[in-house]
Amino acid sequence: MRYIPRLLLIVGAISLAGCDTGPKGSIGFSLPDGDITRGKAAYIEFQCNACHVNEQVPQLDTGAPATISVTLGGETARIKSYGELVTSVINPSHKVARRGSDDMADEGGTSKMVSYNDIMTVSQLIDLVAFVQSSYELSPYSHTNYPVYWLPEPAQKD
Ligand code: HEC
């Protein structure tokens, strides 16, 4: 019986990994290298800085008090992949299930992030992803020191 929770964990891990496969998965997804400088220019042109805080770009003053402020860049334990960043830009509502705060989406779960899909070129998207990704910094990995436990030697059979 006590193996069942472990089995469930393994099945869960396999089905999570399975999200990437199939016709709607991300297998085979690869972006060409983007240009960080052009990405930063696009970031300012599209006014991403109205809702996003990024150390390298001054905040856009829209006159209205900012209701949305999502930090992009800075220290992180894991740099987001191209796939995650592209998805965040072209399909922001995808994150609905994992979103912690209600302010980020309307009642129907649609992200309050504006859609650029009809105005942004693919090159701009590639450059934007390169810029946003470059503004993350991996936080130093800290080791956990686990004490060493010695197992008693099995009793010798004479
Ligand atoms: C009207 C406000 C608004 C604008 C403008 C905006 N965003 Fe967002 N963005 C959001 C919100 C709100 C989220 C929060 C995540 C969500 O919707 O789940 C978000 C999330 C993101 C994320 C994911 C962040 C994370 O940590 O998961 C990325 C990347 C991103 N935006 C990039 C951009 C880029 C690039 C632009 C400009 C082309 C832009 N955004 C413009 C509101 C905005």
**How crowded is the C-beta side of 67, counted as CA atoms within 13 Å?**
7
- Mean pLDDT of all residues in 153-158: 72
Q: Where residue 140 falls among pLDDT bands split at 50, 70, 90?
A: confident
pTM, two decimal places: 0.79
28-137 belongs to CATH 1.10.10.10: no
Distance 40 CA to ligand 1 centre (A): 15
Residue-level pLDDT at 152: 76
Backbone angles phi, psi at 138, to 5 degrees: -70, 125
Secondary structure (DSSP) of the chain: -THHHHHHHHHHHHHHHGGGSSTTS-TT---PPP-HHHHHHHHHHTTGGGTEEBTTBPPP--SSPP---EE-SEEESSPPPHHHHHHHHH-GGGGGGG---GGGB-TTS-BSSPP-TTT--HHHHHHHHHHHHHTEEEPPP----PPP-PPPPPPPP-
Ligand 1: residue whose CA is nearest its atom 39: 48
Torsion angle, alpha carbons of 114, 118, 122, 125, to 10: -10
- Mean pLDDT of all residues in 2-8: 57
> Which of 1-10, 85-94, 116-125, 149-158 has maximum average pLDDT?
116-125
pLDDT tens string 13-59: 544 555 577 888 888 889 999 999 999 999 999 999 999 999 999 99
| 40-54, 96-110, 117-131: least confident range | 96-110
Instruction: Tell me how many degrees the CA angle 125-126-131 measures, rounded to the nearest 5.
Output: 95
Residue-level pLDDT at 111: 84
Atom of ligand 1 nearest to the CA of 68: 12
Q: Which amino acid is at 109?
A: G
Task: Name the more confident of 129 and 149.
Answer: 129
pLDDT over 80 at 80, yes or no: yes
Task: Count Cβ neighbours within 10 Å for each residue of 7-16 and write b for 16 or more, e otherwise.
Answer: eeeeeeeeee
Q: Domains of the chain: which residue ranges?
A: 28-137
pLDDT over 90 at 126, yes or no: yes
Distance 101 CA to ligand 1 centre (A): 14
pLDDT over 80 at 127, yes or no: yes
